Amino acid sequence: MPPPAIRRTPVTLFAPEPSAAHEGVPWYDVVVCGGGLAGATFSRHLRRERPDASVLVVDGQTYPVPPAAHKVGESTVDIAGFYFASVLGLAEYMAEKHLPKLGLRYFFGRAGEPFADAPEIGLSAFCGRPTYQIDRGVLENDLYTMNRRAGVEIATGAKVLDIDLAPGRDPHLVRYTDGDGVARTARCRWVVDAMGRARFLQRKLGLGRPTEGEFNAAWFRVTGRLDVEDFVPDDQVDWHKRVPGRRRRLSTVHLMGPGYWVWLIPLGSGNTSVGIVSSGEFHDIDGMSTLPDAVAWLERHEPAVASALVRHEVLDFLAVRDYSYTTSRVFSADRWGCVGEAAAFSDPFYSPGSNMIAFENSALIKLIGDDARQALRPERVEELNRFVLGQNDWVEYNIHSSYSYFGEPLIMALSFIWDTLVGWTTATPQMFNGIFLDEEKAAAVRAATPGLYALTLQVKRLFKQWERKDGRQGRNFRFIDYYTVPFLREAYERNLVEGKSADELAADHRHSMAVLEEVALAVFLIAVEDTMPERRARLHGHSWLNAWAIGLDPERWEADGLFEPTTPPRSFDRAYADLTELFDAAPPETGATPVTLPIQLRL
């Protein structure tokens, strides 16, 4: 049974403007259109930050929703894990009701070969900060109950008919039908679109922006535990010992291939989510748009999954064509905002969906608070708008440009390690320390990270050049526990810490820039060794290089300034060693000796 309706407090953040035209129309500080994950977490967050805020949620769902609700977004990483546990105060609840997540895990196998032979990247043990595999139905039912008890009014089974945005201090009007089909209207100071991919406000205002390429997904849930550990016989003891306790299933498992990946995600309900995600350049969505087609596709590309499916009942199925989209605006000084999939959606590969909800909710609640203090500034709205869209658009570009080398284990391993390093040193501290919400901290971090975007873009270009090179020598690996990579572990332990001052954050980011520069050079050297080992001699004797000029066109090295570094010289031997120790030795037929650079103290 749902909890009893809670009478909302008469105290509000904003005094309603008198309006003879709308006399008798209920007033709310905030109306949230949509009660799914984004809308429900926003409402809880707002009431925790602003307990006097009057909140109405116009929710199309009726409760309880099915425990295995058919929604994507079951997997969280560090930003979302911190948001759920610390910002929303749900640490005990998440530990009790949802599965812990053992990081991201990748297998690079080939159809017809033993699964145990597939190179693997993943964690052997949990890191210090919790992340979760979320059962969306369970979470949304429980958030509904929590929000009702916290004084949030929720109109269930409702349908938004229109949102009349008003200028100046005039209230917005939200017109909807309630669960009984009765037409209703609510006045509000702020309105939030959390209605998902319908993108009500984005479409109404014509704000959508296209993304490049077409990326598609098909996913379904099956009863019971579809466990990657079962793909390998028990007598393969060494393989099973790499991750003790048969805990691989607690990861978000990615089965990688050219232009695609397949996910396996466990749910707290005991069921398993299975998804196929692909670039339309490589795989036609029409070849997986029905359940029989999707299973046939798996039989060709990931036969271990297809074979396991016969032991499970399929609960649901959905295919989405061209799932990625973005916008020119998510927040407005005219007192509206969009959160979750009503704002933008990049790609599920690195589980960024709940990260974006965390950033969007936090930024929008900060703006509402500024407005309540009569301190809302249009330029601040623009800064937070740029920040949120910058996060989304970089994730979209970074992932989508990688699909072409998803089936390349060496390139993908280094790409993942680089992306993880960038995430732990730049994006994750934004949430752990509220950098984007604090203008002093944000300014200090910007000053400490000159050239950060240009460096990440140059490394991405390097990976793209690498995949196009013929005659790659190839370094192999069997298993990489990425938390044991020294510079990654140091980045995690340094940056996933809250409560830091602006000065401390600036020092962290200066250190991170030095590490990123060294790792970029180490990746470059490995790429040269893999694609044109005869060119390594040209790099010998250069103890320091310009990381912003790396590339695999030797004819451009001089002109681009590779041998003219702009930062103080030091060694990147340690970063190079950290990476090369992960792989088998370079093939002996390369005919060249590895470059040995003089070891100096890392700055």
Pick from 364-373, 464-473, 590-599 the range whose average pLDDT is largest.
364-373
Structure-block tokens of residue 448: 């400490």
The pLDDT of residue 24 is 87
Which has the minimum average pLDDT: 254-258, 457-461, 500-504, 542-546?
A: 542-546
Distance CA 503, CA 43 (A): 33
Give me the mean pLDDT over the 304-309 stretch.
97
Provide φ and ψ at 168, rounded to 5°: 60, -135
Give me the mean pLDDT over the 304-328 stretch.
96
Q: Check residue 16 and report its DSSP letter.
A: P
Distance CA 90, CA 301 (A): 39
Distance CA 53, CA 47 (A): 6
Give me the mean pLDDT over the 240-244 stretch.
97
Kindly report, residue by residue over 442-490, the tens digit of the pLDDT.
Answer: 999 999 999 999 999 999 999 999 999 988 888 999 999 999 999 999 9
The pLDDT of residue 602 is 28
pTM: 0.94
Kindly report, residue by residue over 545-566, the tens digit of the pLDDT.
Answer: 999 999 999 999 999 999 999 9
Short-list 392, 414, 391, 386, CA closest to 402: 414
User: How far does CA 144 lie from the centroid of its chain?
Assistant: 24
Pick from 150-154, 468-472, 594-598 the range whose average pLDDT is largest.
150-154
Question: In this model, does residue 599 exceed pLDDT 50?
Answer: no
3-state SS class at 451: coil
3-state SS class at 77: coil
The pLDDT of residue 603 is 24
Short-list 11, 39, 52, CA closest to 155: 39
The pLDDT mean for the chain works out to: 93
* Token pair 């960038």: residue: 422
Query: With contact defined as beta carbons under 8 Å apart, do 398 and 391 qualify?
Result: no
User: How far does CA 288 lie from the centroid of its chain?
Assistant: 25
Question: In this model, does residue 574 exceed pLDDT 90?
Answer: yes
Give me the mean pLDDT over the 215-234 stretch.
96
Distance CA 32, CA 105 (A): 36
Which has the minimum average pLDDT: 12-16, 436-440, 533-537?
A: 12-16
Walk me through the domains of the chain, giving residue ranges and CATH numbers: 20-69+136-209+331-387 (3.50.50.60), 99-125+214-320 (3.30.9.100), 408-590 (no CATH)
Question: In this model, does residue 23 exceed pLDDT 90?
Answer: no
Question: In this model, does residue 601 exceed pLDDT 70?
Answer: no
pLDDT band at 597 (very low <50, low <70, confident <90, very high): very low
Structure-block tokens of residue 462: 């390097």
Give me the mean pLDDT over the 205-220 stretch.
95
Short-list 401, 390, 345, CA closest to 363: 390
Question: In this model, does residue 311 exceed pLDDT 80?
Answer: yes
Peptide bond into 352 cis (omega under 30): no
One-letter identity of residue 413: A
Tell me the CA distances in angstroms from 406 to 398, 444, 531, 579, one per residue in order.
12, 36, 18, 19
The pLDDT of residue 593 is 37
Structure-block tokens of residue 384: 């937070």
% of the chain with per-residue pLDDT over 70: 94
